[in-house]
Chains A and B, each alone.
Chain A
Amino acid sequence: MLFNIIRNDWRNLRADRSLWIIGALLAVLIGYGVHNGGAWVRFQQDTLTQAAEEEAGRLTLIKTSIESANAGRANPPSWRDPRNPFAVGNTQAAHYVSMPPAPLAALAVGQSDLLPYYFKLSLKSRDTLLGNDEIENPVHLLSGRFDLAFVIIYLFPLLVLALSYNLISSEKEDGTLAMTLSQPVRLGTLAWGKAGFRALFILALSTLISLAGTLASGVNLSAAGASPRFLLWVAVVAAYGAFWFAAAVAVNALGRSSATNAIALAGLWLGFVLLIPALLNVTVKALHPVPSRVELIQAMRVASDDITRQRSQLMAKYLEDHPEFAAATDDSMAQYAIRTAAILDELDRRVQPVLATFDEQLTLQQAMVDRYRFLSPAILVQSALYDLAGTNLYRYRHFLHLTEQFHAAWRTHFEPLIARNVRLTPAHINSLPRFHFQEEPFQAVFTRTTAALAGLGLSALLAAALSAWWLRRYPVAA
């Protein structure tokens, strides 16, 4: 029975030009989206490579400068002396900490073009948040580029609806419904057979095209964690497609005309894909505003002024807290280093509350989105896809966390060198701490994405249940 329905539907679709148009459109959109994402990833990788090269060159230069200074060929002022641990730790050997694009980053640019993916780190206060004044909250859907995630969230539903808005209504309008239902066939079998077949068809098509595009754009699916992420990606898209097909069946089950169905479904699309996300976005921003960059700079300025005025007290206090530096106080370079360290410490302390608010508000925003994303399948899909691509706030905050840890390690590394007034050698430069980005554990991504997947599945089931209910009272003859 089902086989006959599917074969017949296939024959009809095959004879109809719209299927080929939809297929071709899908291929073009997916191809263009993946291409865009791939270009962005390559740009990031190139930038990181350039940064690493610049840094390597700089370190080599430091080593040769150390040698010439030692040989007496050069006599740099102490604040620029490559043997001075403060000068090296604070500027000369500044290290790029970077978050390389995740394996599937090419599939969703997400927020990664708004968030920094590398910092030049030195002894200075952490200024990681200063570099980016545009941290967007997680539901800023329209900020996205034309990437695969955009195609899936916005356009894929439209293609699904183009294939399903008149699933039953057209048969009723063409009169074939009465012919079919005079045979021993349930309306439900017909509706789900057609919807299921079309869903499988478009899903297989989009998976194949995505896979081809993904591989073509240079994504390495054998990279660690890449293939389970890709499988989850496909599952999320499948669940999203299932939701829209079920919604189309539900609307069809009301027994209205194809034109009415098209309008109703366009309305649903508008609501779920544009309106609810926009409303959530506005609400999240209003309830948990992130301090602006101006506020942060203002706080820093006030702090600096204060600190400059109380320089000597600060230094005395700093020396109290760090008795190990006391021995070095007669060297002018060390004096400068200690004073700077004291000032930076204080500045750090003063700006901390603003930074903390920043972090807190972002956390609150994320928490709110995590809670209310279940209001719209589109938000669920977006959160899951960005998560799988590693272009969301979660991975970014993980990166910030690692950066802070590294910053502490960098200071810990240099402080004793400064305190003991050690003269650096090339060996010191070779053994500087290096930052290695560690991916967030897959378990965390998995938990968040499967929650979204469950939400999507539930929405699809709800729509299917409504369909089943309405199909039973479908007016075949009227």
Chain B
Amino acid sequence: MLEAQNLSKTYSGTPALHPLSLKIEPGEVYCLLGANGAGKTTTINLFLNFIEPTSGTALVNGLDVVQQPLESKRRLAYIPEQVMLYRNLTGLENLEYFTALGSTETFSKGQLLAFLDEAGLPAGAAEKRVSTYSKGMRQKVGIAIASAKGAKALLLDEPTSGLDPKASNEFSALLKRLSDGGAAILMATHDLFRAKETGTRVGIMKHGRMMAELRTEEFGHADLERVYLEHMHD
């Protein structure tokens, strides 16, 4: 479960995020929409305790991320827009490292390879250096890291940007599986189509403010685009 309580962030007087209250239950996929600079990454970084909130609290499974940074991160998985890995190591070595840091469980090489395969990394790439990977391949390693962790809360910051349509589709399927498994998912995205497909709720942000929240089952693709564009005007 992810919860924001009056969470806000101000950078030297300029608000990047106005007080935001938000609750994402297990099994929900919450899609954050909004123009560049709307405050999506800021929200996610607050949940990661990468930046200090100006006010309010971010909770992961009820744990305050500022008070209990390590405990809350044990329950979190994060896929940024650019999954950055150790370039000189193989995808497998990267997965092994991040998994060893994040989970108490130790996986065999076979299990780790299975995670990579499941995330859609081409066979044979796992043991090549990451410096030879395309962006999409790195995203897939990121997905494998997140799914190996078996986290109860996922923070995704434009995770599919740069993925080919097939990979993007597979990613959506994977998200579905994780959310069916009881994960609470917060995903920032510019992809209205994906948001409608995989999201259970969408929030439209603008200038750090939550402008509208919708349930995806209540409207069609066209409606979402219309509502979004309406909010972007002024």
Contacts and interface: CB of A to CB of B under 8 A. Distances in A.
Interface in B117-140: 129
Interface in B76-107: 76-78, 80, 82-89, 93, 97-98, 100-102
Interface string B54-86: 000000000000000111011011101011111
Contacts of B51: 475-478
B86 A183 contact: no
A77 interface: no
Contact of A178 (B80, B101, B145): B80
Interface residues of B, number: 32
Contacts of B101: 1, 4-5, 180, 183-185
Contacts of A49: none
A5 B50 CA distance: 20
B2 to A, nearest CB: 14
B187 interface: no
A176 B85 contact: yes
Given A184-B73, A477-B45, A179 B98 contact: yes
Nearest to A180: B101
Interface residues of A, number: 25
Contacts of A15: 88-89, 129
Interface in A161-192: 174-176, 178-186
B204 interface: no
Contacts of B89: 8, 11-12, 15
Given A11-B93, A183-B98, A477-B45, A178 B70 contact: no
B50 A178 contact: yes
B74 to A, nearest CB: 5
Contact of B70 (A176, A180, A184): A184
A16 interface: yes
B64 to A, nearest CB: 15
Given A178-B48, A179-B83, A181-B50, 14 more contacts: A8-B86, A12-B88, A15-B89, A174-B84, A178-B50, A179-B80, A181-B48, A182-B48, A182-B73, A182-B155, A183-B102, A184-B73, A184-B102, A478-B51
9 contacts: A11-B86, A175-B84, A179-B80, A179-B98, A179-B145, A182-B155, A476-B45, A477-B45, A477-B51
Interface of A: 1, 4-5, 7-8, 11-12, 15-16, 174-176, 178-186, 475-478
